[in-house]
Amino acid sequence: MGEISIERQHLDRLLADSASTYGTPYQRAFAELAEARRGRPAAEILPLLRRAADEALLGFTDADLQEQAQAISTGGPYVLRITVA
């Protein structure tokens, strides 16, 4: 399980919000990668997740991104605990 803290005004960087003018939120990028890359090696998925996190200006740890890549690769669940400041 991963954890991330995010300020309330930047929540749209993480979660899809139809009212937001922010580009691609991480939630949408993750879902698209999960659909397109399920079953592929985690090492192939990891740099794509890292780029999505960087574009969304989110500070995921390497361990979190590796867990997410593994979940996409295996089709398993990934739980993210979000703290909103």
- What's the pLDDT tens digit per position in 53-81? 999 999 999 999 999 999 999 999 999 99
**Structure confidence by residue, pLDDT tens digits, 39-57:** 999 999 999 999 999 999 9
**What pLDDT shows up at residue 85?**
86
**Scanning the structure block, which residue is given the tokens 């995921």?**
60
User: Which CA distances in Å does 79 have to 19, 28, 29, 45, 82?
Assistant: 25, 15, 16, 17, 10
**What pLDDT shows up at residue 22?**
67
Q: pTM for the full model?
A: 0.88
**Scanning the structure block, which residue is given the tokens 């939120």?**
25
Handedness of CA 7, 47, 3, 61 (dihedral sign): negative
The domains of the chain are located at: 2-84
Higher pLDDT, 57 or 18: 57
**What pLDDT shows up at residue 18?**
63
